Chains A and B, each alone.
Chain A
Amino acid sequence: MAVLLNENSRVLIQGFGGAGQREAANSLAFGTKVVCGVTPGRGGQIMNDVPVLNTVREGVEQYEANVSLIFVPAPFAADAIIEAADAGIPTAICITEGIPTLDMIKVKSYLQKSTTKLIGPNCPGVISVAERARAGIMPVDVYTPGNVGVISRSGTLVYESVDQLTRLGIGQSSSVGVGGDPIIGTSQQEALALFEQDTETAAVVLIGEIGGTAEQEAAEYIKEMSKPVVSFIAGATAPPGRRMGHAGAIIAGKAGTATAKQTALRNAGATVVESPSRIGETMLEVLQSEGLT
């Protein structure tokens, strides 16, 4: 099964420029069905064997696209997400970093009345490993098929933790980068629910970071989960009041600190890792103690 993407996923790429084309090629090489790109004004061209269209709706009508991967630059990205939703794309995944928060607030409000699930923005995307379905920018070499799901606000920490798991012989079902912005389409809690319901997933790595209260909300859900969760919170050593790269990674108030999040997760029954280099080992211990390997 895996989450969000599977062998039936047909990926459309919005913003089919350099990064979009390169990642299309990487996904195609991995075995993913990348069916078309969308760049307004470039409709009718073929780039790297991928047909280019003017609108997302054409991609749905002509190529049965059901996933949109968005690379559109930040000032225009809100429009691109809404276009995907308007065309009825079930899963929109937005890689773009730097979208103004107030734009995302409008997008989020629009999405509440649509059937589209948004992942991101400011995220590395989603991959379902055994299904060879990739909509994102993650390096595929570090993945190996298996039963651990990975959720992270940070892209590079997805790669880091997946790499640690793979080196220890632990495979992954899917990884979901939920995004580093304060307003995102799918929360950590919602991503956890997807993995909880997924028959292929036995355990979940959850990588949070400082800022906001999303980890505390995730912790509330972890209390109800049947599957074990191993968690790391990045930014334990970050100074308060400073934005640490991610727009969402700024400590404002006690709830935003790593300590507050670690405590909430521990109290909810998650295994919290203090050092980022011990995510893989800790998952191995948890899988062994639960008899899940």
Chain B
Amino acid sequence: MKLHEFQAKELLSQYGIPIPQGRVASTPDEVVDITNELGGKVVIKAQAHTGGRGKGGGVKIANNADEARQSATEIIGMQLITHQTGPEGLPVHSVLVEEQIEIERELYLSVAIDNSSGMPIVIASASGGMDIEEVAENDPAAIQNELVHPECGFQPFQGRTIAFKTGLDGDLLRPATELISNLVTAFEDNDGTIAEINPLVVTKDGQLIAADAKFSTDDNADFRLKELIENRDTSQEDPREVEARDAGIDNYVKLDGNIGCLVNGAGLAMATMDAIKFEGGDPANFLDIGTANSADAVIAALKIISEDPDVEAVLVNIFGGLARTDIIADGVVQAKKIGLLKQPTVIRLAGTNVEEGLQILEDSGLDLIRADGFAEAAQKAVKAVEN
């Protein structure tokens, strides 16, 4: 789950990481109040799950209460469009109002998971405020990496190595090593997948401060992150994806095309999208029904797919392992009978209990387009849309 900047900063602050003074607000009046509390000079930052907020008009500087009200009115309620959001943008319901800080230097600091070593990794660079991937590509020497050993944990020497390498020496050495170590602890305690401070600022009066922060948690750890999960902002997600998750379908991703897909297994679901594209079509979604062995789960998934106005044909592609094709077939038939699946529906079944599954389709007498193999299923779905 992605946290908003203000949530990420609150979390980091609990671990002793310095953040700018400020608060979150959802109306221009509140913004004015906070601006006055902070002495009149503030930064107003749209809270939306995307990078590039500044370029999209979601971050404004205000030097008095009137400017703050003006900017707040512009930002709150806007659809923020950035290079990461797509053309529809993301809604902005709140802003973070913070004191302006006087910047001496900007750095980059993050903790992520390094899949190759199987350990968390701390990544730092003396060039802050930039896209770290660009830095990694153009100037790899500017990046300092340290792995966090699962048994020993992050060691002080590693923090010092990063600090020296990024020029955080002298009086900054001790606070910098503490801050890095605290970021690792916050990451580990809260099942982080990314904890990023970009930029990490050295102020004109020599203080370290997290000027911007990003934190995402491991969806697999939702069961032990109850407090953070309660504050999930579903307005930042596609409404169909929220509806799917509420129906117990975790693996639904809305896409741009018009062929709705219901598949078991993430790999097969991706490959089904690939096959549709290969045949000249466009998938409307990714959906892995997993081993959902109940007709109700299938109906719930088909409801989300077939009620999507973009969907002009549906492709059901099931290769049963733990999942049973007879149960899926039963779900498809029931869905069709209760008025879902008005679109042409192509169905391909293979694997566990396939004879029973095909028999259920046969017995239903419903107008379902049967396909034998993978390619045939994709071809028929693409054709159904063209007709």
Residues of chain A at the chain B interface (Cβ within 8 Å): 19, 23, 74-75, 97-102, 104-106, 108-109, 124, 137-139, 141-142, 152-157, 159-160, 163-164, 180, 182-183, 207, 209-210, 212-214, 217, 232, 234-239, 241-249, 253-254, 274-278
Complex formed: what's the CA distance from A207 to B271 in Å? 10
Complex formed: what's the CA distance from A104 to B290 in Å? 21
Complex formed: what's the CA distance from A239 to B286 in Å? 10
B274 in the interface, Cβ–Cβ < 8 Å?
A: yes
**Further 13 A-B residue pairs, CB within 8 A, beyond A74-B223, A153-B267:** A100-B191, A154-B268, A156-B269, A159-B320, A159-B351, A183-B115, A209-B267, A213-B116, A238-B286, A244-B286, A275-B274, A276-B271, A276-B374
Asked whether B373 lies within 8 Å of A154 as measured between CB atoms, the reply is no
B48: shortest Cβ distance to chain A, in Å?
A: 14
Q: Which of B69-77, B156-164, B200-208, B214-222 contacts A (4 or more CB under 8 A)?
A: B214-222
Complex formed: what's the CA distance from A226 to B266 in Å? 31
Complex formed: what's the CA distance from A96 to B174 in Å? 43
The 8 Å CB contact of B350, one of A137, A155, A163, A242, is A163
B130 in the interface, Cβ–Cβ < 8 Å?
A: no
Residues of chain B at the chain A interface (Cβ within 8 Å): 84, 113, 115-116, 118-120, 133, 149-151, 188, 191, 193, 218-221, 223-224, 251, 253, 255, 263-278, 283, 286, 288, 290-291, 319-322, 350-352, 373-375, 378
Complex formed: what's the CA distance from A153 to B351 in Å? 18
Asked whether B277 lies within 8 Å of A236 as measured between CB atoms, the reply is yes
Asked whether A277 lies within 8 Å of B277 as measured between CB atoms, the reply is no
Complex formed: what's the CA distance from A200 to B114 in Å? 35
Give the residues in chain A near B283, CB-CB below 8 Å. 237
Asked whether B219 lies within 8 Å of A182 as measured between CB atoms, the reply is no
Scoring A23, A207, A253, A277 by chain B CB atoms within 10 A of each residue's CB, the highest score goes to A277
The 8 Å CB contact of A239, one of B253, B272, B319, is B253
Give the residues in chain B near A274, CB-CB below 8 Å. 278
Asked, given contacts A105-B150, A139-B351, A182-B115, whether A275 binds B278 with beta carbons under 8 Å apart, the answer is: yes
Asked, given contacts A159-B350, A163-B350, A183-B113, whether A247 binds B219 with beta carbons under 8 Å apart, the answer is: yes
Asked whether B321 lies within 8 Å of A124 as measured between CB atoms, the reply is yes
The 10 closest A-B pairs by CB, nearest first: A154-B267, A245-B266, A156-B265, A277-B375, A156-B268, A276-B271, A245-B288, A109-B150, A157-B267, A234-B270
Give the residues in chain B near A244, CB-CB below 8 Å. 251, 253, 266, 269-270, 286
Complex formed: what's the CA distance from A73 to B276 in Å? 34
Asked whether B266 lies within 8 Å of A108 as measured between CB atoms, the reply is no
Asked whether A180 lies within 8 Å of B267 as measured between CB atoms, the reply is yes
B132: shortest Cβ distance to chain A, in Å?
A: 10
Give the residues in chain B near A247, CB-CB below 8 Å. 218-220
Give the residues in chain B near A278, CB-CB below 8 Å. 375
| B251 and chain A: residue at smallest CB distance | A245
Give the residues in chain A near B224, CB-CB below 8 Å. 75, 100
Scoring B119, B374, B378 by chain A CB atoms within 10 A of each residue's CB, the highest score goes to B374
Complex formed: what's the CA distance from A167 to B157 in Å? 59
| B322 and chain A: residue at smallest CB distance | A137
**CB-defined A-B contacts under 8 Å, sample of 18:** A98-B220, A100-B218, A105-B118, A139-B351, A141-B351, A152-B267, A154-B265, A156-B263, A156-B269, A159-B321, A180-B267, A183-B118, A212-B115, A236-B274, A239-B253, A247-B218, A248-B115, A277-B378
B121: shortest Cβ distance to chain A, in Å?
A: 11
A131: shortest Cβ distance to chain B, in Å?
A: 20
Give the residues in chain A near B115, CB-CB below 8 Å. 182-183, 212-214, 248
Complex formed: what's the CA distance from A138 to B223 in Å? 28
Asked whether A234 lies within 8 Å of B322 as measured between CB atoms, the reply is no
| A136 and chain B: residue at smallest CB distance | B321
B182: shortest Cβ distance to chain A, in Å?
A: 17
Asked, given contacts A100-B218, A109-B151, A155-B265, whether A160 binds B113 with beta carbons under 8 Å apart, the answer is: no
Give the residues in chain B near A253, CB-CB below 8 Å. 133
Complex formed: what's the CA distance from A276 to B375 in Å? 8
Asked whether B223 lies within 8 Å of A108 as measured between CB atoms, the reply is no
| B288 and chain A: residue at smallest CB distance | A245
Asked whether A156 lies within 8 Å of B118 as measured between CB atoms, the reply is no
Complex formed: what's the CA distance from A206 to B219 in Å? 27
Complex formed: what's the CA distance from A161 to B269 in Å? 14
A18: shortest Cβ distance to chain B, in Å?
A: 9
Scoring B149, B267, B268, B276 by chain A CB atoms within 10 A of each residue's CB, the highest score goes to B267
